[in-house]
Structure 1
Amino acid sequence: MSVQVAAKWVVLDIEGTLTATSQVHVVLYDYARPRLGPWIDAHGDDPVVAEAVAQVKADAGLAEQAGTAEVVAVLHGWMDADRKASPLKTLQGLIWADGYARGELTTDYFADVVPALRSWLDRGLRLAVFSSGSVAGQVASFSNTTSGDLRGLFSHHFDTVNAGPKRERASYDAIAAGLGSAPGEIVFFSDVPAEVDAAAAAGWRTVGVARAGEPFADADFGSHPVVSTFDDVELGVIV
Protein backbone atom coordinates (compact mmCIF):
# COMPACT_ATOMS: atom_id res chain seq x y z
CA MET A 1 0.00 0.00 0.00
CA SER A 2 1.48 3.35 -1.05
CA VAL A 3 1.80 6.42 1.13
CA GLN A 4 0.68 9.71 -0.39
CA VAL A 5 2.04 13.01 0.90
CA ALA A 6 2.58 16.50 -0.52
CA ALA A 7 5.45 18.83 0.32
CA LYS A 8 7.93 21.41 -0.93
CA TRP A 9 10.91 20.00 0.96
CA VAL A 10 11.98 16.41 1.54
CA VAL A 11 14.33 16.06 4.51
CA LEU A 12 16.07 12.71 4.81
CA ASP A 13 17.86 10.77 7.50
CA ILE A 14 20.80 8.74 6.16
CA GLU A 15 21.63 5.69 8.30
CA GLY A 16 18.91 3.04 7.98
CA THR A 17 16.94 5.27 5.59
CA LEU A 18 19.21 5.85 2.60
CA THR A 19 22.00 3.41 3.48
CA ALA A 20 22.24 0.21 5.48
CA THR A 21 23.25 0.71 9.11
CA SER A 22 26.30 -1.44 8.40
CA GLN A 23 27.54 1.23 5.98
CA VAL A 24 28.15 3.43 9.03
CA HIS A 25 28.69 1.02 11.91
CA VAL A 26 30.98 -1.32 10.00
CA VAL A 27 32.49 0.35 6.94
CA LEU A 28 32.84 3.95 8.11
CA TYR A 29 33.47 3.26 11.81
CA ASP A 30 36.16 0.70 10.97
CA TYR A 31 37.80 3.19 8.64
CA ALA A 32 37.82 6.02 11.19
CA ARG A 33 38.78 4.05 14.31
CA PRO A 34 42.50 3.49 13.62
CA ARG A 35 42.89 6.93 12.02
CA LEU A 36 41.58 9.11 14.88
CA GLY A 37 44.89 9.33 16.76
CA PRO A 38 47.08 9.96 13.71
CA TRP A 39 44.59 12.55 12.42
CA ILE A 40 44.56 14.46 15.71
CA ASP A 41 48.36 14.45 15.87
CA ALA A 42 48.79 15.49 12.24
CA HIS A 43 46.19 18.28 12.37
CA GLY A 44 46.71 19.71 15.84
CA ASP A 45 46.98 23.24 14.40
CA ASP A 46 43.60 22.98 12.66
CA PRO A 47 41.19 25.03 14.80
CA VAL A 48 38.32 22.64 14.00
CA VAL A 49 40.34 19.68 15.25
CA ALA A 50 41.63 21.59 18.26
CA GLU A 51 38.10 22.59 19.25
CA ALA A 52 36.83 19.03 18.85
CA VAL A 53 39.65 17.67 21.03
CA ALA A 54 38.94 20.34 23.66
CA GLN A 55 35.27 19.34 23.65
CA VAL A 56 36.15 15.69 24.12
CA LYS A 57 38.31 16.52 27.11
CA ALA A 58 35.62 18.73 28.63
CA ASP A 59 32.81 16.23 28.07
CA ALA A 60 34.87 13.31 29.39
CA GLY A 61 36.35 15.16 32.34
CA LEU A 62 39.91 14.81 31.07
CA ALA A 63 42.63 17.21 32.09
CA GLU A 64 43.54 19.90 29.56
CA GLN A 65 46.99 18.36 29.22
CA ALA A 66 45.60 14.88 28.48
CA GLY A 67 47.38 13.23 25.57
CA THR A 68 46.07 11.91 22.29
CA ALA A 69 45.85 8.35 23.58
CA GLU A 70 43.47 9.38 26.36
CA VAL A 71 41.32 11.35 23.93
CA VAL A 72 41.20 8.47 21.47
CA ALA A 73 40.21 6.05 24.24
CA VAL A 74 37.19 8.25 24.95
CA LEU A 75 36.33 8.50 21.26
CA HIS A 76 36.52 4.73 20.83
CA GLY A 77 34.24 4.28 23.84
CA TRP A 78 31.73 6.67 22.33
CA MET A 79 31.88 4.78 19.05
CA ASP A 80 31.27 1.48 20.83
CA ALA A 81 28.24 3.01 22.55
CA ASP A 82 27.07 4.70 19.30
CA ARG A 83 26.99 8.00 21.16
CA LYS A 84 26.01 10.92 18.94
CA ALA A 85 28.71 13.20 20.33
CA SER A 86 29.39 16.28 18.20
CA PRO A 87 33.21 16.30 18.57
CA LEU A 88 33.34 12.63 17.58
CA LYS A 89 31.15 13.30 14.54
CA THR A 90 33.35 16.26 13.59
CA LEU A 91 36.56 14.21 13.66
CA GLN A 92 34.96 11.25 11.91
CA GLY A 93 33.61 13.56 9.22
CA LEU A 94 37.05 14.99 8.50
CA ILE A 95 38.58 11.52 8.26
CA TRP A 96 35.77 10.23 6.07
CA ALA A 97 36.00 13.26 3.77
CA ASP A 98 39.67 12.48 3.27
CA GLY A 99 38.87 8.80 2.63
CA TYR A 100 36.24 9.63 0.02
CA ALA A 101 38.57 12.13 -1.65
CA ARG A 102 41.25 9.44 -1.86
CA GLY A 103 38.77 6.99 -3.36
CA GLU A 104 39.20 4.65 -0.40
CA LEU A 105 35.54 4.94 0.60
CA THR A 106 32.42 4.52 -1.54
CA THR A 107 28.82 4.88 -0.36
CA ASP A 108 26.26 2.27 -1.38
CA TYR A 109 22.55 3.09 -1.15
CA PHE A 110 19.47 0.91 -1.03
CA ALA A 111 18.42 0.16 -4.63
CA ASP A 112 15.28 2.32 -4.48
CA VAL A 113 16.97 5.43 -3.10
CA VAL A 114 18.75 7.18 -5.97
CA PRO A 115 15.95 6.70 -8.54
CA ALA A 116 13.46 8.11 -6.01
CA LEU A 117 15.63 11.11 -5.15
CA ARG A 118 16.14 11.97 -8.81
CA SER A 119 12.43 11.56 -9.52
CA TRP A 120 11.42 13.81 -6.62
CA LEU A 121 13.90 16.46 -7.67
CA ASP A 122 12.71 16.34 -11.28
CA ARG A 123 9.15 16.89 -10.08
CA GLY A 124 10.08 20.12 -8.33
CA LEU A 125 10.68 18.98 -4.77
CA ARG A 126 13.81 20.16 -2.96
CA LEU A 127 15.99 17.80 -0.96
CA ALA A 128 17.84 18.24 2.33
CA VAL A 129 19.54 15.96 4.83
CA PHE A 130 19.33 15.81 8.63
CA SER A 131 21.77 13.29 10.06
CA SER A 132 23.71 12.84 13.28
CA GLY A 133 26.81 12.61 11.09
CA SER A 134 28.57 15.93 10.57
CA VAL A 135 27.78 18.07 7.54
CA ALA A 136 31.33 17.45 6.30
CA GLY A 137 30.76 13.71 6.59
CA GLN A 138 27.40 13.93 4.84
CA VAL A 139 28.76 15.89 1.89
CA ALA A 140 31.72 13.53 1.61
CA SER A 141 29.46 10.47 1.63
CA PHE A 142 27.49 11.82 -1.34
CA SER A 143 30.65 12.71 -3.25
CA ASN A 144 31.75 9.16 -4.09
CA THR A 145 28.93 6.64 -4.40
CA THR A 146 28.10 3.59 -6.48
CA SER A 147 25.79 5.95 -8.39
CA GLY A 148 28.40 8.67 -8.88
CA ASP A 149 28.67 12.11 -7.28
CA LEU A 150 25.27 12.93 -5.74
CA ARG A 151 26.16 16.16 -3.96
CA GLY A 152 24.17 18.21 -6.45
CA LEU A 153 20.90 16.57 -5.40
CA PHE A 154 20.80 18.30 -2.01
CA SER A 155 20.21 21.96 -1.26
CA HIS A 156 20.85 21.87 2.50
CA HIS A 157 22.60 19.73 5.09
CA PHE A 158 21.82 19.70 8.81
CA ASP A 159 23.49 17.92 11.71
CA THR A 160 23.41 17.99 15.51
CA VAL A 161 25.72 21.03 15.52
CA ASN A 162 23.82 23.41 13.23
CA ALA A 163 20.32 22.10 14.06
CA GLY A 164 20.39 20.17 17.35
CA PRO A 165 19.57 16.65 18.61
CA LYS A 166 17.48 14.58 16.24
CA ARG A 167 14.94 13.59 18.89
CA GLU A 168 14.03 17.13 19.98
CA ARG A 169 11.31 19.29 18.45
CA ALA A 170 13.44 22.44 18.62
CA SER A 171 15.84 20.98 16.06
CA TYR A 172 13.06 20.67 13.50
CA ASP A 173 11.87 24.21 14.26
CA ALA A 174 15.41 25.38 13.52
CA ILE A 175 15.59 23.45 10.25
CA ALA A 176 12.24 24.81 9.06
CA ALA A 177 13.54 28.31 9.72
CA GLY A 178 16.75 27.47 7.85
CA LEU A 179 14.77 26.21 4.88
CA GLY A 180 12.51 29.26 4.97
CA SER A 181 9.48 27.02 4.75
CA ALA A 182 6.34 26.42 6.76
CA PRO A 183 6.46 23.19 8.82
CA GLY A 184 3.52 21.71 6.92
CA GLU A 185 5.47 22.03 3.67
CA ILE A 186 8.24 19.70 4.85
CA VAL A 187 8.21 15.90 4.97
CA PHE A 188 10.79 13.97 6.98
CA PHE A 189 11.85 10.38 6.32
CA SER A 190 13.56 8.43 9.10
CA ASP A 191 13.81 4.88 10.39
CA VAL A 192 13.76 6.05 14.04
CA PRO A 193 10.29 6.51 15.62
CA ALA A 194 11.52 9.09 18.14
CA GLU A 195 12.84 11.26 15.31
CA VAL A 196 9.61 11.29 13.32
CA ASP A 197 7.77 11.98 16.60
CA ALA A 198 9.91 15.07 17.15
CA ALA A 199 9.40 16.24 13.56
CA ALA A 200 5.64 15.77 13.83
CA ALA A 201 5.62 17.75 17.07
CA ALA A 202 7.13 20.62 15.08
CA GLY A 203 4.29 20.38 12.55
CA TRP A 204 6.17 18.49 9.86
CA ARG A 205 4.73 15.74 7.71
CA THR A 206 6.45 12.44 8.43
CA VAL A 207 7.08 8.99 6.96
CA GLY A 208 8.63 6.16 8.93
CA VAL A 209 11.05 3.94 7.02
CA ALA A 210 11.05 0.29 8.16
CA ARG A 211 13.51 -1.52 5.93
CA ALA A 212 13.89 -5.29 6.19
CA GLY A 213 16.98 -6.30 8.13
CA GLU A 214 17.52 -2.89 9.69
CA PRO A 215 17.42 -2.25 13.48
CA PHE A 216 14.02 -0.52 13.35
CA ALA A 217 12.40 -2.86 10.83
CA ASP A 218 9.79 -3.96 13.38
CA ALA A 219 9.53 -0.70 15.33
CA ASP A 220 6.20 0.82 16.35
CA PHE A 221 5.77 4.07 14.43
CA GLY A 222 2.39 4.80 15.98
CA SER A 223 0.22 6.98 13.78
CA HIS A 224 3.00 7.85 11.32
CA PRO A 225 2.65 6.39 7.82
CA VAL A 226 5.30 3.75 7.23
CA VAL A 227 7.01 2.35 4.13
CA SER A 228 9.65 -0.32 3.60
CA THR A 229 10.87 1.20 0.34
CA PHE A 230 10.67 4.58 -1.40
CA ASP A 231 8.86 2.77 -4.22
CA ASP A 232 5.80 2.86 -1.93
CA VAL A 233 5.82 6.67 -1.66
CA GLU A 234 3.76 9.00 -3.86
CA LEU A 235 5.04 12.56 -3.31
CA GLY A 236 2.99 15.48 -4.49
CA VAL A 237 4.41 18.99 -4.83
CA ILE A 238 2.95 21.93 -2.90
CA VAL A 239 3.07 25.02 -5.12
Structure 2
Amino acid sequence: MKPIAIVTDIEGTTSSIRFVKDILFVYAEQFLPDFIRKHKEERDVARQLRAMSENTGIPLRNTEALIAQLQEWMRNDEKVTELKALQGMVWEQGYSRGEYQAHVYPDVPEKLREWQEQGINLYVYSSGSEKAQRLFFRYTTYGDLRLLFAGYFDTTIGAKQEAQSYRNIAEWIALPPEDILFLSDIEGELDAAAEIGIRTIRVVRPQESEGEVTSRHPVVHSFEEITLE
Protein backbone atom coordinates (compact mmCIF):
# COMPACT_ATOMS: atom_id res chain seq x y z
CA MET A 1 0.00 0.00 0.00
CA LYS A 2 1.30 3.44 -0.91
CA PRO A 3 2.19 5.74 1.95
CA ILE A 4 -0.07 8.71 2.52
CA ALA A 5 2.88 10.87 3.60
CA ILE A 6 6.62 10.88 2.93
CA VAL A 7 9.07 12.59 5.29
CA THR A 8 12.57 13.23 3.98
CA ASP A 9 15.87 14.24 5.49
CA ILE A 10 17.97 16.83 3.61
CA GLU A 11 21.72 16.42 4.08
CA GLY A 12 22.97 13.26 2.36
CA THR A 13 19.44 12.37 1.22
CA THR A 14 18.04 15.07 -1.07
CA SER A 15 21.24 17.06 -1.11
CA SER A 16 25.00 16.84 -0.86
CA ILE A 17 26.68 16.70 2.52
CA ARG A 18 29.56 18.62 0.97
CA PHE A 19 27.37 21.64 0.19
CA VAL A 20 26.22 21.84 3.79
CA LYS A 21 29.67 21.33 5.33
CA ASP A 22 31.86 23.21 2.83
CA ILE A 23 29.52 26.07 1.94
CA LEU A 24 26.82 26.66 4.54
CA PHE A 25 28.83 25.77 7.66
CA VAL A 26 31.87 27.73 6.50
CA TYR A 27 29.69 30.76 5.70
CA ALA A 28 28.12 30.64 9.16
CA GLU A 29 31.51 30.34 10.85
CA GLN A 30 32.68 33.42 8.99
CA PHE A 31 29.67 35.69 9.39
CA LEU A 32 27.76 34.56 12.52
CA PRO A 33 29.86 36.49 15.09
CA ASP A 34 29.39 39.89 13.42
CA PHE A 35 25.76 39.07 12.65
CA ILE A 36 25.13 38.53 16.39
CA ARG A 37 26.91 41.75 17.34
CA LYS A 38 24.96 43.77 14.78
CA HIS A 39 21.49 42.26 15.28
CA LYS A 40 21.45 41.12 18.95
CA GLU A 41 18.72 43.61 19.88
CA GLU A 42 16.36 42.50 17.10
CA ARG A 43 13.41 40.34 18.13
CA ASP A 44 14.22 37.02 16.45
CA VAL A 45 17.92 37.11 17.33
CA ALA A 46 17.24 38.32 20.88
CA ARG A 47 14.76 35.46 21.40
CA GLN A 48 17.37 32.84 20.49
CA LEU A 49 20.08 34.48 22.60
CA ARG A 50 17.72 34.66 25.56
CA ALA A 51 16.88 30.96 25.26
CA MET A 52 20.57 30.16 24.88
CA SER A 53 21.39 32.17 28.01
CA GLU A 54 18.71 30.35 30.00
CA ASN A 55 19.96 26.95 28.83
CA THR A 56 23.68 27.57 29.36
CA GLY A 57 23.80 30.03 32.24
CA ILE A 58 25.84 32.49 30.17
CA PRO A 59 24.65 36.04 31.04
CA LEU A 60 22.60 37.56 28.24
CA ARG A 61 24.63 40.77 28.43
CA ASN A 62 27.87 38.87 27.74
CA THR A 63 27.58 38.85 23.96
CA GLU A 64 31.13 37.66 23.35
CA ALA A 65 30.71 34.66 25.65
CA LEU A 66 27.52 33.71 23.83
CA ILE A 67 29.34 34.01 20.51
CA ALA A 68 32.19 31.85 21.82
CA GLN A 69 29.67 29.17 22.84
CA LEU A 70 28.04 29.27 19.40
CA GLN A 71 31.46 28.88 17.79
CA GLU A 72 32.23 25.88 19.99
CA TRP A 73 28.91 24.29 19.06
CA MET A 74 29.68 24.86 15.38
CA ARG A 75 33.12 23.29 15.69
CA ASN A 76 31.57 20.23 17.32
CA ASP A 77 28.60 20.13 14.91
CA GLU A 78 26.19 20.21 17.85
CA LYS A 79 22.48 19.97 17.01
CA VAL A 80 21.46 22.84 19.30
CA THR A 81 18.15 24.47 18.42
CA GLU A 82 19.30 28.04 19.11
CA LEU A 83 22.44 27.59 17.01
CA LYS A 84 20.45 26.14 14.11
CA ALA A 85 17.99 29.05 14.25
CA LEU A 86 20.77 31.65 14.22
CA GLN A 87 22.62 29.85 11.42
CA GLY A 88 19.43 29.98 9.38
CA MET A 89 19.29 33.76 9.77
CA VAL A 90 22.88 34.10 8.57
CA TRP A 91 22.32 31.73 5.64
CA GLU A 92 19.36 33.86 4.53
CA GLN A 93 21.83 36.68 4.05
CA GLY A 94 24.01 34.55 1.77
CA TYR A 95 21.10 33.15 -0.25
CA SER A 96 19.49 36.56 -0.78
CA ARG A 97 22.81 38.01 -1.97
CA GLY A 98 23.18 35.19 -4.48
CA GLU A 99 26.45 34.03 -2.91
CA TYR A 100 25.41 30.37 -3.28
CA GLN A 101 22.48 28.12 -4.25
CA ALA A 102 21.40 25.00 -2.42
CA HIS A 103 22.53 21.76 -4.01
CA VAL A 104 19.82 19.20 -4.79
CA TYR A 105 20.44 15.85 -6.49
CA PRO A 106 18.92 15.82 -10.01
CA ASP A 107 16.64 12.84 -9.32
CA VAL A 108 14.92 14.62 -6.42
CA PRO A 109 12.70 17.39 -7.90
CA GLU A 110 11.09 15.15 -10.53
CA LYS A 111 10.34 12.38 -8.02
CA LEU A 112 8.95 14.81 -5.46
CA ARG A 113 6.61 16.26 -8.09
CA GLU A 114 5.54 12.75 -9.12
CA TRP A 115 4.68 11.84 -5.54
CA GLN A 116 2.84 15.10 -4.98
CA GLU A 117 0.78 14.50 -8.14
CA GLN A 118 -0.13 11.07 -6.74
CA GLY A 119 -1.67 12.84 -3.74
CA ILE A 120 1.12 12.01 -1.30
CA ASN A 121 1.86 14.74 1.26
CA LEU A 122 5.57 15.56 1.50
CA TYR A 123 7.41 16.79 4.58
CA VAL A 124 10.99 17.65 5.55
CA TYR A 125 12.64 16.66 8.84
CA SER A 126 16.13 18.05 9.34
CA SER A 127 18.35 19.16 12.21
CA GLY A 128 18.55 22.55 10.49
CA SER A 129 15.90 25.02 11.64
CA GLU A 130 12.56 25.19 9.86
CA LYS A 131 13.57 28.62 8.56
CA ALA A 132 16.83 27.21 7.17
CA GLN A 133 14.92 24.36 5.49
CA ARG A 134 12.55 26.79 3.77
CA LEU A 135 15.50 28.89 2.62
CA PHE A 136 17.28 25.80 1.35
CA PHE A 137 14.38 24.72 -0.85
CA ARG A 138 13.63 28.28 -1.97
CA TYR A 139 17.11 28.85 -3.37
CA THR A 140 18.01 25.53 -5.00
CA THR A 141 19.83 24.91 -8.25
CA TYR A 142 16.44 23.69 -9.55
CA GLY A 143 14.55 26.81 -8.49
CA ASP A 144 12.03 27.28 -5.71
CA LEU A 145 10.82 23.85 -4.50
CA ARG A 146 9.02 24.98 -1.33
CA LEU A 147 5.52 24.38 -2.65
CA LEU A 148 6.26 20.67 -3.01
CA PHE A 149 6.18 20.31 0.77
CA ALA A 150 3.20 20.36 3.10
CA GLY A 151 5.34 21.08 6.16
CA TYR A 152 8.76 21.20 7.77
CA PHE A 153 10.04 19.72 11.04
CA ASP A 154 13.21 20.61 12.95
CA THR A 155 14.64 19.69 16.36
CA THR A 156 11.91 21.64 18.16
CA ILE A 157 9.80 18.51 17.58
CA GLY A 158 12.57 16.31 19.00
CA ALA A 159 16.03 14.90 18.32
CA LYS A 160 16.34 12.92 15.10
CA GLN A 161 17.51 9.67 16.68
CA GLU A 162 14.77 9.51 19.33
CA ALA A 163 11.60 7.51 18.68
CA GLN A 164 9.43 10.09 20.47
CA SER A 165 10.28 12.63 17.76
CA TYR A 166 8.66 10.41 15.16
CA ARG A 167 5.61 9.88 17.37
CA ASN A 168 5.32 13.66 17.53
CA ILE A 169 5.56 13.94 13.74
CA ALA A 170 2.94 11.22 13.21
CA GLU A 171 0.62 13.01 15.64
CA TRP A 172 1.22 16.36 13.90
CA ILE A 173 0.54 14.84 10.46
CA ALA A 174 -2.47 13.02 12.00
CA LEU A 175 -1.64 9.68 10.39
CA PRO A 176 -0.87 6.25 11.81
CA PRO A 177 2.88 5.50 11.58
CA GLU A 178 2.38 2.71 9.01
CA ASP A 179 1.01 5.29 6.53
CA ILE A 180 4.24 7.31 6.69
CA LEU A 181 7.51 6.65 4.84
CA PHE A 182 10.75 8.19 6.13
CA LEU A 183 13.82 8.70 3.92
CA SER A 184 17.27 9.28 5.44
CA ASP A 185 20.93 8.41 5.05
CA ILE A 186 21.40 7.91 8.80
CA GLU A 187 20.81 4.45 10.26
CA GLY A 188 20.06 5.72 13.76
CA GLU A 189 17.33 8.02 12.48
CA LEU A 190 15.72 5.23 10.52
CA ASP A 191 15.92 2.92 13.54
CA ALA A 192 14.11 5.50 15.67
CA ALA A 193 11.36 5.95 13.06
CA ALA A 194 10.97 2.19 12.55
CA GLU A 195 10.63 1.69 16.31
CA ILE A 196 7.19 3.31 16.23
CA GLY A 197 6.12 1.59 12.99
CA ILE A 198 7.02 4.18 10.37
CA ARG A 199 8.18 2.67 7.08
CA THR A 200 11.79 3.47 6.22
CA ILE A 201 14.25 3.60 3.33
CA ARG A 202 17.95 4.34 3.64
CA VAL A 203 19.24 6.59 0.85
CA VAL A 204 22.92 5.86 0.21
CA ARG A 205 24.33 8.32 -2.30
CA PRO A 206 27.42 6.91 -4.09
CA GLN A 207 28.98 10.37 -3.80
CA GLU A 208 28.68 10.21 -0.01
CA SER A 209 29.75 6.64 0.76
CA GLU A 210 32.75 4.40 0.34
CA GLY A 211 31.97 0.81 -0.61
CA GLU A 212 28.91 -1.21 0.27
CA VAL A 213 26.66 -0.16 3.13
CA THR A 214 24.87 -2.67 5.31
CA SER A 215 21.53 -1.64 6.75
CA ARG A 216 18.52 -3.01 8.58
CA HIS A 217 16.40 -0.94 6.18
CA PRO A 218 15.77 -1.13 2.42
CA VAL A 219 18.58 0.69 0.59
CA VAL A 220 18.40 2.84 -2.56
CA HIS A 221 21.04 4.97 -4.25
CA SER A 222 18.68 7.58 -5.71
CA PHE A 223 15.05 8.59 -5.47
CA GLU A 224 14.51 6.99 -8.88
CA GLU A 225 14.96 3.56 -7.26
CA ILE A 226 12.16 4.14 -4.77
CA THR A 227 8.99 2.23 -5.59
CA LEU A 228 5.86 2.81 -3.56
CA GLU A 229 3.62 -0.23 -2.98
Q: What is the TM-score with the length of structure 1 in the denominator?
A: 0.89
Match of 2:125 in 1: 130
Where does the alignment leave 5 or more consecutive residues of structure 2 unmatched? Answer: none
Higher strand residue share: 1
User: For 2:198, which of 180, 198, 204 is the aligned residue?
Assistant: 204
User: Aligned ranges for residues 54-69 of structure 1 at < 5 Å?
Assistant: 54-67=50-63, 69=64
User: For 2:92, which of 84, 91, 97 is the aligned residue?
Assistant: 97
**Alpha-carbon displacement from aligned partner over 1:32-91 (angstroms, at most 9, x marks no partner):** 112112221222222321132233344444334322x32222212211211111111000
Contact 1:10 1:126 in 2 (8 A): yes
Contact 1:176 1:182 in 2 (8 A): yes
Correspondence 1:229 to 2:225 = no
Query: RMSD of aligned C-alpha atoms?
Result: 1.8
User: Aligned ranges for residues 1-239 of structure 1 at < 5 Å?
Assistant: 6-67=2-63, 69-161=64-156, 163-214=157-208, 218-222=212-216, 224-236=217-229
d(CA) in 2 for partners of 1:124, 1:102: 35
**Alpha-carbon displacement from aligned partner over 1:164-204 (angstroms, at most 9, x marks no partner):** 10001111111111111111110000000000001011210
The aligned length equals 229
1:55/1:234 Cα in 2 relative to 1: closer, same or farther (>3 Å)? same
d(CA) in 1 for partners of 2:215, 2:77: 22
1:47/1:115 Cα in 2 relative to 1: closer, same or farther (>3 Å)? same
Higher helix residue share: 2
Contact 2:107 2:223 in 1 (8 A): yes
**Alpha-carbon displacement from aligned partner over 1:81-118 (angstroms, at most 9, x marks no partner):** 11111111000011112322232231111121111111
Where does the alignment leave 5 or more consecutive residues of structure 1 unmatched? Answer: none
d(CA) in 2 for partners of 1:171, 1:20: 24
Contact 2:178 2:198 in 1 (8 A): yes
* Matched-pair identity in %: 38
